[in-house]
Amino acid sequence: MNAKVWLVGAGPGDPELLTLKAVRAMGEAQVVLIDDLVNPALLTHCPNARVIPVGKRGGCRSTPQAFIHRLMLRYARQGKCVVRLKGGDPCIFGRGGEEAEWLAKRGIAVELVNGITAGLAGATQCGISLTHRGVARGVTLVTAHTQDGRGPDWHALAKTGTTLVVYMGVSSLQQVQTGLIEGGLPAWMPVAMIENASLAQQRECRSSLADMCRDALAFQLKSPAVLVIGEVAAHTQTMPDGRMAERSA
């Protein structure tokens, strides 16, 4: 595993959701570049590695992407096994694709290791199935935070007929609400706002598209959070231990 960069998905936060392949890569890592949203408890799997924080969070001071690229390249060219540890899945709004492409163009071997994405884990922990026969035949993952700052085409997304899972949308709730309603999504459409997916401090606020902004303010919703928008958000299954997910309406 020397002279290689592993782009590893750390999952949404719960240490038990880490994959065995991720554990193996971390165990052999000599350098770990870790994102802010990665649970520090996972570092027990890489006791012999040099750990370098390279945080990137919306609204906060972030490590420049170009600097992260150069760090990965430097250590890989030194013959070290490098793990770039990312929250969730590296290919779901984690820049895994662009990092892999950048390194490959410079002759560096790269392997991507999937992680469970926060939208899936958070919904499941709240008893929500993102697809549900007779209710939702598909799911669309979308980020409200785009590189050009314009945001996605909410009008088009309103017409997909799928469950919408919105990442990085806390600061854009009004735009999400307005765009989807103007695009034709009913104001009564159920919404689940899920904060700190899969962690012990996970919180959930159930609302509707019409009331989403008001309820988020009362709930004091904070990042990191995902929004689940669709009829499945009105369906709550009993949790495996018999509990119902914590909720606020």
Active centre residues (catalytic)? 35, 56, 168
8 A C-beta contact, residue 213 and residue 171: no
Nearest to 116 by CA among 16, 239, 244: 16
Residue type, 214: R
Q: Taken in order 180, 183, 187, 192, is the CA torsion positive or negative?
A: negative
Token readout for 219 is 């709930």
8 A C-beta contact, residue 231 and residue 128: no
Output the 3-class SS for 138-185: CEEEEECCCCCCCCCCHHHHHCCCCEEEEECCHHHHHHHHHHHHHCCC
| β-strand partners of 10 | none
8 A C-beta contact, residue 232 and residue 209: no
Q: Taken in order 37, 42, 45, 51, is the CA torsion positive or negative?
A: positive
Residue type, 196: N
Scan for tokens 């492409």, then name that residue. Answer: 101
Q: Tell me what percent of the chain is helix, strand and coil, each rounded to the nearest 5.
A: 30, 25, 45
